[in-house]
A and B are shown apart, each in its own frame.
Chain A
Amino acid sequence: MVSRAGAVAINGGDLALGGGLLALLRPALDLLAPGGVVALRSSSAGVRHDLPSWCRFERHTYLECEPQSDGSDLHLVGRGRFAVAYATDAATGEADPHTGFAPLGARVERGGPRYPFTINRRDSAPPPQTTRQLYDQATLAQWDAARDIPWDRVQPLSPIVERAVGQVMTFLAENELSALYVPSKFVARLHPAYAETAMFLATQMMDEARHIDVFLRRARAGGGALGVSSVTTSRSLLSLLELEDFTEAAFLLSVLGEGTFLDLLRYIERHAPDEVTAEIARRTRADESRHVHFGVMHVRQALGCDAALARRLEETVRQRAATLHGVSGVPAPIQDALTILAAGSDEPGAVARGHEAFRELLSDMHAGRLKRLVHAGFTPAQAQLLSELHTPNFM
Chain B
Amino acid sequence: MSESILLGAVAYDPKVVTIWEGIREYFRAEGVDLDFALFSNYERQVATLLAGHIDIAWNTPLGHVRVQRRTEGRARSLGMRDTDRDFHAKIVVRRDAGIRTLADLPGKILAVGSRDSTQARILPLHFLRKEGVALDRVQLLPFDTDLGKHGDTGASELDVLRALADGRAHAGAVGDLVWINEQSAGRIDPQLVDVLYTTPGFDHCMFDALPSLSEAKVEAFQRALFAMRWEEPAHRRLLELEGLREWMPPREEGYDSLRRALEETAEW
Which of B83, B176, B183, B246 is close to A16, meaning CB atoms less than 8 Å apart?
Answer: B183
Determine whether the beta carbon of A16 is less than 8 Å from that of B190.
yes
Closest Cβ–Cβ distance, residue A319 to chain B (whole Å): 38
Q: Does A213 contact B (CB under 8 A)?
A: no
Q: Does A53 contact B (CB under 8 A)?
A: yes
Determine whether the beta carbon of A18 is less than 8 Å from that of B195.
no
Determine whether the beta carbon of B179 is less than 8 Å from that of A53.
yes
Determine whether the beta carbon of A49 is less than 8 Å from that of B195.
yes
- The closest CB in chain B to the CB of A80 belongs to B245
List B contacts of A19 (CB < 8 A): 190-191
A19-B182 Cα distance, complex, nearest whole Å: 11
A253-B236 Cα distance, complex, nearest whole Å: 42
A110-B239 Cα distance, complex, nearest whole Å: 14
Q: Does A59 contact B (CB under 8 A)?
A: yes
Determine whether the beta carbon of A18 is less than 8 Å from that of B183.
yes
Closest Cβ–Cβ distance, residue A112 to chain B (whole Å): 6
Which of A22, A56, A57, A114 is close to B233, meaning CB atoms less than 8 Å apart?
Answer: A114
- The closest CB in chain B to the CB of A15 belongs to B190
Interface residues of B in 107-166 (CB under 8 A from A): none
List A contacts of B176 (CB < 8 A): 53, 56-57
List B contacts of A111 (CB < 8 A): 230-233, 236
List B contacts of A50 (CB < 8 A): 179-180, 183, 195
Q: Does A117 contact B (CB under 8 A)?
A: no
- Beyond A82-B245, A111-B232, whether A56 also contacts B86 by CB under 8 A is yes
List A contacts of B197 (CB < 8 A): 49
Determine whether the beta carbon of A57 is less than 8 Å from that of B83.
yes
Chain A interface bracket (under 10, 10 to 19, 20 to 34, 35 or more): 20 to 34
Determine whether the beta carbon of A53 is less than 8 Å from that of B232.
no
Determine whether the beta carbon of B183 is less than 8 Å from that of A17.
yes
Determine whether the beta carbon of A56 is less than 8 Å from that of B90.
no
Determine whether the beta carbon of B232 is less than 8 Å from that of A46.
no
Closest Cβ–Cβ distance, residue A71 to chain B (whole Å): 16
List B contacts of A114 (CB < 8 A): 233
- The closest CB in chain B to the CB of A56 belongs to B86
Q: Does A98 contact B (CB under 8 A)?
A: yes
List A contacts of B191 (CB < 8 A): 19
- Beyond A18-B184, A22-B184, whether A56 also contacts B179 by CB under 8 A is no
Closest Cβ–Cβ distance, residue A58 to chain B (whole Å): 9
A113-B233 Cα distance, complex, nearest whole Å: 5
List B contacts of A17 (CB < 8 A): 180, 183-184
Q: Does A87 contact B (CB under 8 A)?
A: no
List A contacts of B41 (CB < 8 A): none
Q: Does A146 contact B (CB under 8 A)?
A: no
Q: Does A54 contact B (CB under 8 A)?
A: yes
B88, B177, B180, most chain A CB atoms within 10 A = B180
List B contacts of A59 (CB < 8 A): 82, 245-246
Determine whether the beta carbon of B194 is less than 8 Å from that of A16.
yes
Q: Does B198 contact A (CB under 8 A)?
A: yes
Q: Does A45 contact B (CB under 8 A)?
A: yes
Closest Cβ–Cβ distance, residue A254 to chain B (whole Å): 36
Q: Does B188 contact A (CB under 8 A)?
A: yes
List B contacts of A18 (CB < 8 A): 182-184, 186-188, 190
Determine whether the beta carbon of B177 is less than 8 Å from that of A46.
no
A58-B198 Cα distance, complex, nearest whole Å: 18
A111-B176 Cα distance, complex, nearest whole Å: 26
List A contacts of B184 (CB < 8 A): 17-18, 22, 54
A154-B203 Cα distance, complex, nearest whole Å: 84
Determine whether the beta carbon of B230 is less than 8 Å from that of A82.
yes
A57-B188 Cα distance, complex, nearest whole Å: 18
A50-B236 Cα distance, complex, nearest whole Å: 26
B86, B90, B245, most chain A CB atoms within 10 A = B245
A54-B83 Cα distance, complex, nearest whole Å: 11
Which of A53, A110, A112 is close to B180, meaning CB atoms less than 8 Å apart?
Answer: A53
List A contacts of B233 (CB < 8 A): 98, 111-114
Closest Cβ–Cβ distance, residue B233 to chain A (whole Å): 5
Q: Can you report 16 residue pairs joining A to B where beta carbons are below 8 Å apart?
A: A16-B183, A16-B190, A17-B180, A18-B184, A18-B186, A22-B184, A49-B195, A50-B195, A53-B176, A53-B180, A57-B83, A57-B176, A57-B177, A57-B181, A82-B230, A98-B233
**What 4 A-B pairs are tightest by C-beta distance, nearest first?**
A18-B183, A16-B190, A19-B190, A53-B176
